[in-house]
Structure 1
Amino acid sequence: MSSNNKLYDPDQAAVNTRWIQPWSEAFRAQRDVGLRIPIDFHTVAAVSLTQACFVDNQFEHNAFLKCFSNLLGVGFPRFEIDVYWDALRSVWSLCPVQLPQDGVEVQNNASIVSSPTISVSTGTATARLLETTATMPQPLKIRQDSSVSTQIASASSAAVDQASSSSPDTISASAQPTVISYPTVKGLPLLQIGRYNCTSQMTLGLLTGLLEDFLQETATTTGATITFLNLNIHAAASLSDPDGPAPQLTQDQIPQSSDRLSEIVNGNLSSVLYPSETLGEQRANLNSSWYNVEWENLPAQGYYQTSKNSAGNVFTESGWPTEALMEFQEFKRVIASFGTVDQQMAAYDISGDFNDIFPPGTITEQRQTSFATTGQLNSGCYFPSSDNMVTTRTNSSFARASPPLISIDANPDLMSSIPSVSNLTRCDIIPFLNQSLAGTTADKNPLPYAAYVHSTLWSWAPGQPLNVTRGSSTANRCAVMTNSAYPGRWEVTDCGNRYRAACQNPQQPYYWEVSSNTSDFNTAKGLCRSPLHFAVPHTALENAHLHAALQRTREPNEPVYIDLNQLGTADCWVIGINSTCPYLQSTDKNRTRIVIIPTVAAVIIFVLAAFTFFVKCASNRREDKRGRGRKTVGGWEYEGVPS
């Protein structure tokens, strides 16, 4: 563990790619313009934890803590997680093979032998793990019984020599598995079982505990985001046959009530988890849920169909809440869902978890795509489309696709987007990273993974927004879409410049026009013809439609105003001329500067928009983590802005 006893402990290099300007301001502004859009239309970066952290079959808890911390630190909000039920220990594990119970004799003749003490290493100096100085041992080969004692006797210090002293060609069909236990400098030993290296602390509870730490540390209106967990359910391979297929579990071997997946997820995240049953309740009566907010927080129109029942209640069968409602009224920041469920786990009835964890396929919809060598999509893009409204043909609800194989440097240019990733984002498709980058995992080097996240920034041009010019009330305080070096991206401008205006039909999210006349920013609202409104794009696909409208004009290279400014407060981007920065103290009780996440061992009461919100302390958490709220970056106490 780190010296400050936290689980969430990213490298400073990871933090600096996201939580300092201009990146922090750019991502906040992009989040904030979409606060009133249903969350299923947010195209944010997704990653496979297996590919980013465990591609070498190393499941050591210190390396994992650093890897997951770095992925959260650079800004990944969506995670594909492979979870294994270890029937031998009755635990949801992140290790694909069963581990022996402490002090319990291993069954089926699999023997445990000890090896010299090691200090596990992630392999580079950039991933700072307190317990690490040596090289991670290579995966164990299955050995013949007669050769085990000889191999162990010759293993004086180098774990690599131990692993390489036998090869698959010399293994007989009668070989028995052997577990090699490597005591570590601190903590539990590292076990080599088949091709896997695991420590017993590699559990789902460790992951949710780290995520709880991250949520507490980013528990401000300026840093809060929604985290999605898509859980693929597997049975762990048998300890007696670690390299073979996992066994079919019987009813006696599956998780019992206290070990159900929903119980584990709720153990650390109950106060911030958005349960699936809540979605059904809210959809059934929108008047008492999503519409029961201040008018400026009402969901944007046109993103889902509504009807009215016999009782006069408005309901929807397909809609999702907005981020504004989830985070800033209900204080919910985590959504968990089942992904795939292996046949070996068929005896486990996942429907028993559906009150808290969404059914398979709920938060992911695989989109079939094909790419040109330039990274452009040949097929699968939701744009271009002649439809101006959200229909079954333009509905990108939780659509996801993986880019082709990415070649990237270990020290990439963060100002340069990965074309396939940025094009997926522009097409309103979640870019799913299902590969390791630059031949490394995120604990060893987070920078390639940061470059991936940066490529999902669809709004501001690289290096934007620029700081406000000192001494000026208008310079660099307004935003325009340009068609220059970064077509369709936003840049800051002097609000006194005369430009055309971006106009949207609020009933048709994808209908955009550019006004014929020009004005300064203060009077740009009057440039839009009725029923269009001066607006800012709220999603990547809306932005693509506005850019297309700009390209159709007679002067496509002239900037166009979008309804986004920081006239009131520097670094606080807001919509509308007289809007108040939501991060300032206000008498409006529907605005709060700090999103409080439960951190004490009692019930905390929050009042926001006439709602009293009771938050239960998560179980099995340490008292010494209480009370954190703000991120320190470069010695400054940092608190950003939804714009």
Structure 2
Amino acid sequence: MADSLYVPDPTAGDTLVQPWDEAFRAQRDVGLLIPINFHTVPWVSLRAACFGNGQYEDTSFQKCFSNLLAVGLRRFIVDTYWDASRSQWSLCPAQIPTASAAGSSSTVPVPAFTITSSLSSTSAGVTATVSKAGFPKRQDGSSDASSGSTRLSMESSSVPSPTSSSASGGSSRSGSSSSSSSATPAPSTSTSAPVQEGFLYQLGSYNCTSTITLNYLTGIFNDFLEATSTTTDASFTHLLLNIHAAASWQHPNEPAQQSSGDLLPQAAGNLLSNIMKGNLSEELYTPSKLADERANLRNSWNNVDPENKPRGGYYTVEGANGNDPSTEDGWPDEAYAQFSKYYRLIAIFGTIDPQMGGYNRSLDADTIFPSETISVQPDVSFSSSDSLNEGCLFDASDKTVTPQRNSSFAVAVVPPTLSVSSNPDLFSPIPAISNLTACGISPMLNHSLANTTADKNPLPYAAFTHSYLWSWAPGEPLNATDASISGATGNRCAAAYTEGAWPGRWHVVDCNTPLRVACQDPSSPYSWSISSHPKTYDSATNACASPSTFSVPHTPLENAHLLSAARAAPPLDRSNINTSSILINLNSMDVADCWVAEVNGTCPYLAPDDQDQTRIVVVPTVAAIIIFVVTALTFFVKCAANRRDDKRGRRRRMLEGWEYEGVPS
């Protein structure tokens, strides 16, 4: 895409090549019928990953955010600062000086900041020119005057920022004794301080450009969503917005002043909801949409083909046997929200500093979810080996989805001492991240990894991403046997280890290998049993006693319950049968390396047609991924045609022969 703001380094993109892209895609596909609130995906603070050195500059942030997206991160904590002097939501913790602010009184001192036209990569005190890349074409004109960043409903206080927020969240800045920048005065001696586009301002501990705004972030994000609008690359994403008031430019290291009255965002274009909708309106899933769909399941989540029905047991349904079923606690699954309705993002309020307590969030209520959406796990603690001492949501004796064992948007802060090198082994998961994920809790990273930001080195953040892969064992899935060989079934089916180095993780097996079979009660996600007799894959559907069916885990907690059931199963009396693995319902028998959760399933992507395994996407809607049958593909192609008519000419990159790299799964 020409002039795209999404510009990751090749190093970042290379971290999701085979087998990683295939593994993550298969993991995504098996969870497409699970409500989005039960997906365990890590959160990353942009303040830690991109601004840990106090550098708030367009080009470096563009590279950093692009790299984080390219390595597979999908949930971000954004700290956004209301700059009242410019009426903008900024990512910079301090206000950018303006002529009116600095020149309003003859007693105002000469601005205590530096403006220069070049940037030294080794000096934090020198300023830089701003990237001239424009904002996305679909930017809403009503939001041009506002921008900002945000944070999560958890404190990011451990971020090694020059002015980290207090644990109480009362101020976004420390009460430093330095009330102004330590930089030399600006070249001009005038008392006015006009904002200069294209320059970096040194403001105390921060170096900020005037254009490092929330609009700029959503522009990058929009181009990422466009670049990944394919059946194989699409994913559901989250932005959590922490709200702060920017410190004054005269005293950038001191707490911000209370904002009230006319100093608060009031105009329509200044609301956070307008900023989010300016670039992302078509992709944004909102509270109002959720409320409408919950109230009428018959015409929303249930109005799909039988193969696309949401999996049962994850939320309560009122009037399930009548004509008007509804739910008060349910969320849509990813297949419906993302691949049928094309929504790929939710925005959530995080913390709000007292200085911004007067901001009227009710004006954003139809667009941005409340902070209570996130379920913070305050009692999680780690041992010296990074296993969980307490807080794990897995309980082998509790197979119900109760409030006490509910992983709905559950999140916990990871230990601040993660041992990640600058050149990590991507095949060695970070224990704390893997252990949190296996417990149904999304890890939240609020400190820089390997003492670096992602624009300088994305590899530590790629290691963080790979560590939340809960399904396949490192290095899996291995390449399938050549289909041209008559009867070849090697590496075409999947099984879960019950012992060894990776218990619970999946690996490829020959489909003709007899193994015990994983059986699940469709109405109770955590109720698993193991067949008493081994079966090969093509006969596995007959191994499970009703109401259980041959199945594959769809979430980390389901996987943990399957492992528990396998370990508790009575031993076989046949010594020639492998008991260290359990057969799960996942295969690539139709097309090599295209994994489907159906014994006779059909790969929803084109088969390989060249040596470098480049594919052409032929299914315009990603909903077809979870169907795995030809009839459903036809249905969703029709939906895509309607979508093109309804979306005001929206460009969909999956159309007209768009190519993508990697193997579909």
* 1:103 Cα deviation from its structure 2 partner: 8.7
CA contact (8 A) 2:489 2:511 kept: yes
Q: 3-state SS of the aligned residue for 1:357?
A: coil
Residue 373 to residue 180, structure 1, CA distance change in 2 (3 Å): farther
Alpha-carbon deviations, 1:518-559, whole Å to 9, x = none?
121100111111111100000000000101111123269521
Aligned length: 572
> Are 1:593 and 2:623 an aligned pair?
no
Matches within 5 A, 1:2-401: 5-18=3-16, 20-101=17-98, 105-107=102-104, 108-111=108-111, 117-121=117-121, 135-137=123-125, 180=186, 188-255=198-265, 256-308=267-319, 312-401=323-412
Alpha-carbon deviations, 1:23-44, whole Å to 9, x = none?
0000000011000000010001
The code of the aligned residue for 1:272 comes to E
Residue 238 to residue 504, structure 1, CA distance change in 2 (3 Å): same
Distance 1:118 1:58 in 2: 14
Distance 1:77 1:234 in 2: 23
Alpha-carbon deviations, 1:488-536, whole Å to 9, x = none?
1000111011111000111111011111111211001111111111000
CA contact (8 A) 1:86 1:97 kept: yes
What is the aligned counterpart of 1:481 among 496, 499, 504?
A: 496
Q: 3-state SS of the aligned residue for 2:89?
A: strand
Distance 1:34 1:513 in 2: 20
* 1:119 Cα deviation from its structure 2 partner: 3.0
The code of the aligned residue for 2:620 comes to I
What is the aligned counterpart of 1:435 among 408, 430, 447?
A: 447
Distance 2:553 2:321 in 1: 36
Q: Considering only aligned residues, what root-mean-square deviation do their CA atoms show, in Å? A: 3.0
Distance 2:298 2:393 in 1: 31
Partner of 1:538: 554
* 1:615 Cα deviation from its structure 2 partner: 2.2
CA contact (8 A) 1:274 1:334 kept: yes
Q: Which one has the bigger strand percentage?
A: 1
Distance 2:532 2:275 in 1: 58
Residue 350 to residue 562, structure 1, CA distance change in 2 (3 Å): same
Q: 3-state SS of the aligned residue for 1:96?
A: coil
Partner of 1:622: none
Partner of 2:192: none
Partner of 1:131: none
Residue 102 to residue 267, structure 1, CA distance change in 2 (3 Å): farther
Residue 629 to residue 364, structure 1, CA distance change in 2 (3 Å): farther
Q: 3-state SS of the aligned residue for 1:608?
A: helix
Residue 609 to residue 301, structure 1, CA distance change in 2 (3 Å): farther
Distance 2:245 2:649 in 1: 31
Partner of 1:638: 661
Alpha-carbon deviations, 1:355-397, whole Å to 9, x = none?
1111122144334201111111010001124121211221110
The code of the aligned residue for 1:203 comes to T
Distance 2:180 2:75 in 1: 44
| Structure-2-length-normalised TM-score | 0.81
Distance 2:543 2:5 in 1: 52
* 1:65 Cα deviation from its structure 2 partner: 0.5
Distance 1:97 1:338 in 2: 21
> Are 1:564 and 2:586 an aligned pair?
yes
What is the aligned counterpart of 1:576 among 598, 606, 615?
A: 598
> Are 1:510 and 2:526 an aligned pair?
yes
Distance 1:481 1:427 in 2: 17
CA contact (8 A) 1:83 1:92 kept: yes
* 1:240 Cα deviation from its structure 2 partner: 2.1
CA contact (8 A) 2:81 2:92 kept: yes
Q: Which moved more, 1:9-18 or 1:535-544?
A: 9-18
* 1:136 Cα deviation from its structure 2 partner: 4.0
CA contact (8 A) 2:74 2:238 kept: yes
* 1:178 Cα deviation from its structure 2 partner: 6.8
* 1:281 Cα deviation from its structure 2 partner: 0.5
CA contact (8 A) 1:249 1:344 kept: yes
The code of the aligned residue for 1:638 comes to E
Partner of 1:156: none
Distance 2:366 2:30 in 1: 31
The code of the aligned residue for 2:518 comes to A
Residue 195 to residue 113, structure 1, CA distance change in 2 (3 Å): closer
Distance 1:310 1:532 in 2: 22
Distance 2:228 2:181 in 1: 51
CA contact (8 A) 1:217 1:629 kept: no
Residue 101 to residue 379, structure 1, CA distance change in 2 (3 Å): same
* 1:71 Cα deviation from its structure 2 partner: 0.5
* 1:413 Cα deviation from its structure 2 partner: 0.4
> Are 1:450 and 2:462 an aligned pair?
yes
Residue 592 to residue 286, structure 1, CA distance change in 2 (3 Å): farther
CA contact (8 A) 2:115 2:199 kept: no
* 1:607 Cα deviation from its structure 2 partner: 4.5
> Are 1:615 and 2:637 an aligned pair?
no
Partner of 1:129: none
Distance 2:118 2:592 in 1: 52
Residue 616 to residue 346, structure 1, CA distance change in 2 (3 Å): farther
What is the aligned counterpart of 2:515 among 489, 496, 499?
A: 499
The code of the aligned residue for 2:5 comes to L
CA contact (8 A) 1:110 1:178 kept: no
Q: 3-state SS of the aligned residue for 1:458?
A: coil
Distance 1:617 1:94 in 2: 32
Distance 1:442 1:175 in 2: 26
> Are 1:490 and 2:502 an aligned pair?
no
* 1:109 Cα deviation from its structure 2 partner: 2.4
* 1:596 Cα deviation from its structure 2 partner: 8.8
Distance 1:534 1:257 in 2: 53
| Structure-1-length-normalised TM-score | 0.83
Residue 502 to residue 223, structure 1, CA distance change in 2 (3 Å): same
Distance 2:242 2:180 in 1: 33
Residue 400 to residue 381, structure 1, CA distance change in 2 (3 Å): same
Q: Identity percentage over the alignment?
A: 48
* 1:56 Cα deviation from its structure 2 partner: 1.5
Partner of 1:422: 434
CA contact (8 A) 1:223 1:640 kept: no
Distance 2:292 2:520 in 1: 32
The code of the aligned residue for 2:212 comes to M
Alpha-carbon deviations, 1:397-441, whole Å to 9, x = none?
000001212121100000001111100000000011111100111
The code of the aligned residue for 1:431 comes to P
Residue 176 to residue 427, structure 1, CA distance change in 2 (3 Å): closer
CA contact (8 A) 2:84 2:263 kept: yes
Structure 1 gaps of 5+ residues are 124-134, 140-170, 586-590, 598-604, 619-625
